[in-house]
Structure 1
Amino acid sequence: MAELIAGTVAELEVSHKAPFGYFLTDGNQEVLLHDNDVTGKLTEKEKATVFLYQDHQGRLAATMTIPEITMSTFGWATAVTLRKKYGVFVDIGISKDILLSKDDLPDEWFYWPQPGDKIYCSLKFDKKQRLFARLADETVINTLSVPAPAELRNKNVQAKVYRLLLNGAHVLTDEGYIGFIHQSETTDRLRVGEAVECRVIAVKENGTLNLSMRPRSYETIDQNVDKIVSYMESRDGAMPYWDKSLPEDIKQRFDISKGDFKKALGQLMKEGKLDQKDGWSYLKQE
């Protein structure tokens, strides 16, 4: 008879009731099914389909909640707790969180999944036969993915980071498309499991995507207009900057380039909302 193994699903028989749950058996081993892991009434000799895991003392235990994630199946787990000494504990859908070891994560902890992030993983044993989460590799992700259609170009997609590289990150979109975000197209450093919204800048022949987290040009202009107007409103509608101001002064005040500053001023003047005179800009009173 095969040995019962954590991380797998088994059909076991109810051996007897205990004060804190039930003991199940395969005729050779007994496993505790705690009351917290029971999803219905059980009677002696009844068969129960359970998922096997290791409790906090390392003992084999059972739950009637069958997770999607097992030793042989992958699924999305939610990061719950980050422990710099150990790694990240993830929720696979049972009462006990499973550790994703720091050995399988980037060297710097700020690249690790944060609580609420999603990672695609299965389960594995370490050298001491303890149950751990295992990140999906490229082969698994490729099996999961589908080719992206060409008409997706310039559309927005939602995605999750599954792998970090020196020059960017690989992501999987909610539709199952594989994408790459070059570091020049990011707006901040990314972490494993992070959910991101991206713009498709290219659909490659193999159906994968090149993505950007940077806004479109018109979105950038709108953001800069809002920044400039907010600053002027805080100064009664006037500011000592105009389209001939020095680039370094504009950069220091608004953290944007002179070119982007002039585009934003041009937008305001086109809309009839701004005048310039003698080195100053003024909002027109409505």
Structure 2
Amino acid sequence: MNQSLGTIITGIVTDINDKAYFIQKSGITYEMPKTETTSYELGDAVEGFAYISQNKSYKLTQDIPKVQIGYYAFSKVIDVRRDLGVFVDIGLPDKEIVVSLDELPTEKQLWPKKGDQLMVTIRVDEKDRMWGELADEEVFISLSKKASEDLINKDIKGIAYRLKVVGTYILTEGDHLGFIHPSQRDIEPRLGEEISGRVIGIGQEGAVNISLKPRAHEAIPEDAAMLLAILERSKDGSFPYTDKSSPEDIKLHFGISKGQFKRAIGNLLKQRKIVQVDGETRLVKNESADNE
């Protein structure tokens, strides 16, 4: 196995033509395009990243990728093959790296899609094939930092890096570890998917507990949100209409049918945002729409 692949090496220029330098290291010659670098002479030492290109030739590049053997970085998924795995772009000009299907979820609907991000390193097998290898839990722990209480109820984004029966694990944009319990999501995220949610708690180890469900006020249907806005903007937080009002009055003043009105009123009553008293609908005072 060529132990130089996937690493930064230093070799000696042994040949030059119009298009490339040929650099030797440990008996193997690597090609490096002239367009990529300044000029070298025969016998010069050259440092670069060693890899095998898509057409299986040995190459050297001085545009060093972040992903190397022993080094991890998020890499974008650029293609998916159900019989092989997913291809990720680590920044090489003529080479994509495959993450084998053996490392991906058993349920293929949870596989990454194009544009998703996977934290990978490089593994080289005995046939000199370069593979992407997913980062394990220890890598994410080493990259993370503890979250503070002031993040609670804040919006947050992150990448799903582990899918388990107990829930989804993510690394946030702020480099915090995050956890989404199945009760706090409607659909299980894909591996590598970017997730937007909100922080609902901080764990003992400084990880964030995240919900993908909307806040109470965000979950209000459109008609209910309209009625709530009218109440909030009124002088005394009320209007003289209830679910007993006539369809004509409701249509005239709100532009919706009585059926729509009743459903909206019912939603707000259930969430205890309003009360109906003496022929009026009134806003419940001192309510915070952000609290559930």
Q: How does 1:47-126 map to 2 (within 5 A)?
A: 47-95=45-93, 96-126=95-125
Residue 216 of structure 1 deviates from its aligned partner by 1.2
Moved more, 89-98 or 126-135: 126-135
Q: Are the structure 2 counterparts of residues 180 and 223 from structure 1 closer, same or farther at C-alpha, using a change threshold of 3 Å? A: farther
- CA–CA separation in structure 1 for the residues paired with 2:29 and 2:260: 80
Q: Are the structure 2 counterparts of residues 136 and 183 from structure 1 closer, same or farther at C-alpha, using a change threshold of 3 Å? A: same
Gaps of 5+ in 1: 251-256, 272-286
Residue 171 of structure 1 deviates from its aligned partner by 0.4
Contact 1:39/1:65, CA 8 A, preserved across alignment? no
Q: Which amino acid aligns with 2:50?
A: L
Identical-pair percentage: 28
Q: How does 1:195-206 map to 2 (within 5 A)?
A: 195-206=194-205
Task: Report Cα offsets for 1:199-252 as digits up to 9, x if no partner.
Answer: 1111011111111011111222265635999xx99xx9232416766xxxx9xx
Contact 1:21/1:33, CA 8 A, preserved across alignment? yes
Contact 1:123/1:132, CA 8 A, preserved across alignment? yes
Q: How does 1:134-283 map to 2 (within 5 A)?
A: 134-221=133-220, 225=224, 237-241=255-259, 259=267, 263=271, 266=274
- CA–CA separation in structure 2 for the residues paired with 1:196 and 1:175: 13
Residue 113 of structure 1 deviates from its aligned partner by 1.6
Q: Which amino acid aligns with 1:207?
A: G
Q: Are the structure 2 counterparts of residues 260 and 45 from structure 1 closer, same or farther at C-alpha, using a change threshold of 3 Å? A: farther
Contact 1:33/1:62, CA 8 A, preserved across alignment? yes
Residue 126 of structure 1 deviates from its aligned partner by 3.6
- List 4+ stretches of structure 1 deviating above 6 A: none
Gaps of 5+ in 2: 229-249, 276-280, 284-292
Q: Which amino acid aligns with 2:49?
A: F
Q: How does 1:26-45 map to 2 (within 5 A)?
A: 26=25, 28-35=27-34, 38-45=36-43
Q: TM-score, normalised by structure 2?
A: 0.76
Superposed CA RMSD: 3.1
3-state SS, counterpart of residue 140 of structure 2: helix
Contact 2:20/2:33, CA 8 A, preserved across alignment? yes
Residue 39 of structure 1 deviates from its aligned partner by 3.2
Aligned residue-pair number: 254
3-state SS, counterpart of residue 217 of structure 2: helix
Q: Are the structure 2 counterparts of residues 94 and 228 from structure 1 closer, same or farther at C-alpha, using a change threshold of 3 Å? A: farther
